[in-house]
Every structure is written in C-alpha cells, then in structure tokens.
Amino acid sequence: MIQMISTLLGSMPALAAAPGSSGKAAGQAVVEVGTGPAWVLLIPFLPLLGFVLCAIYAAIGNKSKLPAWTTVGLLAVSFVATVSMFVSFDGPYTVHAFDWIQVHFGEKSLIADFSFYVDKLTILWMLFVTGLATLIALYASEYMSHDIGTGYCRFFSAFGLFVFSMACLVMGDNLLMLYLGWEGVGLCSYLLIGYFYKKPSAVAAAKKAFIVNRIGDLGLALGIYLIFVHFGTLEYTELFNNEKLLGYVADASRGDFSAIPGQAQWIALLLMVGAFGKSAQFPLYVWLPVAMEGPTPVSALIHAATMVTAGVYLIARMYPVFLVSEFALPTVAWIGTITAVLAATIGMAQFDIKRIMAYSTVSQLGYMFAGLGLLTTTGAAFHVLTHAFFKALLFLACGAVMHGFAGQLDLRKLSGVSWMKGWGIVGVTMLIGCMNLAGLPYITSGFYSKDMILAGAFTTPGYSIIGWLLVGTAILTAYYTFRVYFRVFVGPQHAEPGEDYHGDDDHGFHPHPPGWAVNLVLCVLAFASIAAISLAYINKAESYGWVGSMVQDSSAYFHSPYADAAYGVAKGEVDPVNGPVGYKAPVAVFGMTAHNAMILISGAGAIPGVLIAAFFHGPKGWQGLFIGGRTEAGKCRMDAVAKRFGPIPKMAENKWYVDEFYQMELVGPLRVLSHVLHWLDKLLVDGLVNLFGFLPRLFAWVIRPSQSGVLQGYAVSMVGGVVILLVVVMVVVLRTGGAA
C-alpha cells in the first residue's frame, strides 16, 4: 500500500505542488499572488450581517418572516458576488480585511491577518456553498414558519453565522483563519442540531456532535502548530512556496521519503484526524447520523452539502503537505473505503428515511476521501459538487414529507406519496435525486463523479481491491436508495401521521402538501443535479472536465499519469532531463480503457441494485412497470428474506452496535475515571486547600476568647503573660547559672 505514493511520485516529473503552478515541476513552483478587489469581502461579510440583523429582530420581538427574507436576500447577493469573482478571476490573489494576529519573536513572526485567499479551488467551493445556502434558506422560510417569532430569528441568525464561518474556512488566506471557520461551523452545527432544545434527543445529539468533533479538532490544532514550528508560517502563499516544502515534494517525487523529516510527515497525519472528524469518517462518523435531530434544512445545508465537505477541502487545500507523508494518503484511501462500505451496510437496514440519507452521506464522503487517497483530486472535488446538489435535494424532499405528514419518517408507515394530491413535484424530484445517488450510467451527474474515483482505483497498481469494494458499495447504495423511493413514493396510498400530529382522529389525518417555496427549491436542485452532467464534458480533453480546470490552478492539483492511462491517452514523449512523460500505453480494465470499463462496472452495480430494490420493495403491478408485489405499506418481500439471515439484519439496523461498543470501551471507562479523579480532586487537592484554609480559622477560634472586650479579662491576660515571662526568665537564669 505504502509503495503507491513513491511509485506514482517517482514517475511524475511534472508535479504541480503549489497554487497557480499550472504544472510546473516540483520544487520549482513560484506563485505570483496579487491583490484582489475589495468587493470580494461582500461574500463572507453579508452572511455575517444577516446574523447580526436576525439577532436584532429577536431582540425587538419580530414575529414575521423578515429574518428569512433578510437572510435569503443577503445570501443571494453573496452568491452573485461569488459568480462575479469566478467570471473576473485572472489569477490567485488575496483580499485584506484588517490586521488580526501579528506576533514577532526572535527570527520568527506569526502573522495571521483577517484576509482572504482566492484561487479556483476557493471559487469552486464558494459557488456551491453560497448557492445552496440561498436555496436552502428559501426552503427554510416555509419549513420553519411554524416557529415564527424568537425561534425563527434564532434559526436564521445561526444560519447566517454558519455561512460566514464556512466562508472563513474556505476563503481564509492562512491556517488560523481556516481554524476559526472550522470551529465556527462546529459551533453553528451544535446550535442548529440542538435547535429544539426542549427535546432531550436533540440536546443529546448536539452534545455528541460537538464532543466527537472536538476529538478531530485536536488533531487539526496540533497539525497547525507543527506547520508553524516546522515551516515558520501559516499563510498559504508563503507555505506553498516554502523552500523546505518544495524540496520535500521533490524528494517524494523521487520516492525518497527517508530524506523527509518525520516531523514534516506527521503534519499530514494530524491534519487527517481533523478531516476525519469534521467529515464523519471512521471511527469518528457516529455524530452525523444522530445530527438528523435538527431541522431538515440544517441536515441539507450543514450535514450533506457544505460543512461535512470541510475535511475534503482541508486535504485538497493542503495536498502538497499530504504528498510528502509516506503514510497519509494511503490511510486516507483505506479509511474512506472502509467508511463507504460500513455506512452503506447500515443504511440499507434503517427505516427512518432521514437516517438512511444520513448514512448515505457518510458513505459518499468515504468515496470522496478514497478519491483523494488515490490521487484523483479532480474526482473527489467533482463528487463533492455533484453530491452537494443531489443530496441536498434528497434531504429536502424527505423534509417535505416529514413536514407534511406531521413528522412521520418511518418508511413502513408511508406509501404512494407521489400519487397524493399536491405531492407530484416532491415525487419526481425525489426520483431524480435517487437516480443521481445510485449513479445510473450517463443520465446522472453522480455517475460521472463516481466514475472518476472508481477509474482511479482500478488503474492504480495494487488498489483494485478498493475499486471492487467501492463497486460493491455502489450496489448497496442503489438498493437502499430505491428502497426508500419504492416504499414511500409509489405503491398503494397510505399515510400514518408522525409524533407531531395532535389533530382530531375522528375526522382522519390529512397531510398538507408543500408550498411554492419548497417546490421551487426542489425543482432548482433537480435541474442542477441533471445540468451538472455537462461539467464532465467542459474542458474534458485538457483537464478531465470543468472541475478539473478549477482544481488545476490550485494547491489541490496533482496530475497522475494513471489519469491519462484511465482515459486511454497513450503518451510516448521523453524529456531529456526527467525521462518519460506518462505511460506509453493506457491501462486496460477488461480489455478496454478504465473509463469505458467503468460504464459497464457502474451499470453492473447501479442497475441491478435498483432492480433488486424494485423486486423486494416495489409495489404490485401498475402496467407491468413494478415487480415487487407489495400491496401494503408495512410489508414487503424482503421481510421473509431478512429472517433467513438470522441476527445480521438486526445488527445492521442497530448500526453494528458501534455506539454501544464506544459506550462500553470508551465512554464508560472514561466516565468511571472522571468520577475517580473527581473524588481525588475533592478529597486530596481540595482537602489540602481546605486544611490550610482551616488552620487560621482554628487559631482564631483558640485566641478569640482573649479578645472578648471585658476589662478584667484583659487584666487577667496581662498578669498571666507577666507570670509566663517571669517563669521563662527564671528557667533561663537557672540553666545559665547551672552551666557556669
């Protein structure tokens, strides 16, 4: 496994290791960074303004939708500014807001200003962050309307603060700004998961998310400390042009990791821990599924489309640092694969449709990490983009169902929703989202982004096992995705209200369909999910798609010769200094180029998965379209099959008891240890402090009678003192005389 990095880098004379390097050789990249226009500051600070205004609305007791329209308007302007930043971009630049931290000691200076760094990777991330935030805020204006008042203001205030924090994370020009945004999105996640603070499960979920993320954040903090200690800077422009780092990349390109200090290699491993925590990778993934206790717009924005991609962004942004570590990227590849498989097996056994989408998010994040570890940063970034669209669509469609059916999310208690009056748009958009998540060949953007990652796995020597594991995950993904669709959206019409229903049972339950805002957002996201297919064909020859062109001029750029081989590009040119450029023949999979083979492999995964779901969960008949035979909501063919597997389905439904294992092996012992340390602190540490505090009180208690204020008492004390003095004098005189 470890040989992958040295093998790849050793064959790469043209390694881009810095933003804007555009393919310059490793160790020779020099980045010219200019000064950008001041209006770029609108992108992060408009959401911050929304946070402040919504807080003011809460203070004055506003009870209208003003917080929502304020947030939507400001985020829309921020998105327009991001588009303008993309259109006018002509090279990496920084925009300075104000001086922040400038500490000088000895020959080193810690400089971390409140400034923003803009390259194409920044633009790529901010396009979907601001765009999706605007759409989801519009969706939330209707979804959260039941809570108009202080709660409504509180929700949109935290919403604006989140987008500001995400902008700091992505756009900051130094690692301290990234860390500020990193902790900011963690805080907002805590506030929004626990939005229903009177609900114990929501409070517990918020605390779990906060604590698990702190574990990963410790790794990130240590990694940032070590970067400053080793390289002497936290600013991207200086770090990516640092002579040490460029030299290490050159050593790595020769496969000589022994020349790279262990301290430099440890940096990537520490940053990796932070990425695993924020992006819910094994073993720190357990917080994300329970985060579904928050309102659905929170699930769509924070836990599907933006915040959870922060770990992917961190590795992509710091890719030159990861390249110089012998163990980091292989670990990223395997952890991503393990996470993808594990989460998929859990998702296929759940009955809560939001929880299924949550485990799907964990699984798809595993795909992205596998792509980063397999040196296909373009594939990972492309999957981030497509996943943001279709997973937000899926969450919001599920949220519309939850909102209209009084909180009902159990797929055994819903059926035929698409056929109900007013639910057609939700049904169609849900189908589009499911097709993208399943990755149906050619007709979905999810297929194209997964295709690049799978091709990277099959064309990288020694990593075909990851490819087959990810193909197996794709089959499971198609199955559990369409399990939800067939059970909830088609079939006989049936609906049982959820726990939020407090109506009159005598008159029956009548679900209320979504309004214009929800339907509009679902339609836009469905269109974006389909339109994203075109991105695979823009600049395809030069950089493997539009996303590739965005990644190419950034620190995330890494051109692997296996990418050319996967596309069937045969290169035979020879550089007189550096040797062969690429491979003379494409790598074949099943006798064809890897990307052509992926069409068959992906189709062999997605289409059978859909058909299996149709057979076991699909409804009966309907002009021969469905083959499932299901005639009621709560029963299907899979029920009988599941019983034959004994305890396995129940174990998967209970998440393989990972949480229980953590409780027994980690939480329980730590809680016992905390109680032991508490009593040690109380009895020993506090006991000593209390003892030293008690001694003066004891002395005061002893001498207090002598200060009674009674005259004769003082006279007796004086006489007693004189007597004692005389006795002492006599003893001294007698002892002195005796000695003489």
Tokens of 20: 């804007």
The confidence score (pLDDT) of residue 508 equals 67
- What mean pLDDT comes out for the span 450-458? 86
Q: What angle do CA 688, 694, 700 make, to 5 degrees?
A: 155
Contact status, residue 412 vs residue 634, Cβ threshold 8 Å: yes
- What mean pLDDT comes out for the span 177-199? 94
Q: Tell me how far apart the alpha carbons of residues 159 and 699 are, in angstroms, rounded to a whole number.
A: 60
Which amino acid is residue 361, in one-letter code? T
The confidence score (pLDDT) of residue 14 equals 35
User: Mind listing the pLDDT tens digit for each residue in 112-149?
Assistant: 999 999 999 999 999 999 999 999 999 999 999 988 99
- What mean pLDDT comes out for the span 58-67? 93
Burial of 586: CB neighbours in 10 Å, binned 0-12, 13-18, 19+: buried
Q: Tell me how far apart the alpha carbons of residues 310 and 274 are, in angstroms, rounded to a whole number.
A: 10
pLDDT averaged over the chain?
A: 86
Give me the helices (H) in 327-444, please: 328-347, 353-373, 377-404, 424-438
User: Mind listing the pLDDT tens digit for each residue in 542-584?
Assistant: 777 899 899 988 888 887 766 655 555 444 443 333 333 444 3
Q: Residues in the chain, how many?
A: 740
Q: Tell me how far apart the alpha carbons of residues 175 and 221 are, in angstroms, rounded to a whole number.
A: 10
Which H or E run includes 95?
strand 93-105
In the predicted structure, residue 181 carries a pLDDT above the cut 70: yes
- What mean pLDDT comes out for the span 327-352? 95
User: Mind listing the pLDDT tens digit for each residue in 258-285?
Assistant: 899 999 999 999 999 999 999 999 999 9
In the predicted structure, residue 22 carries a pLDDT above the cut 70: no
Which amino acid is residue 48, in one-letter code? L
In the predicted structure, residue 221 carries a pLDDT above the cut 80: yes
Tokens of 709: 């204020």
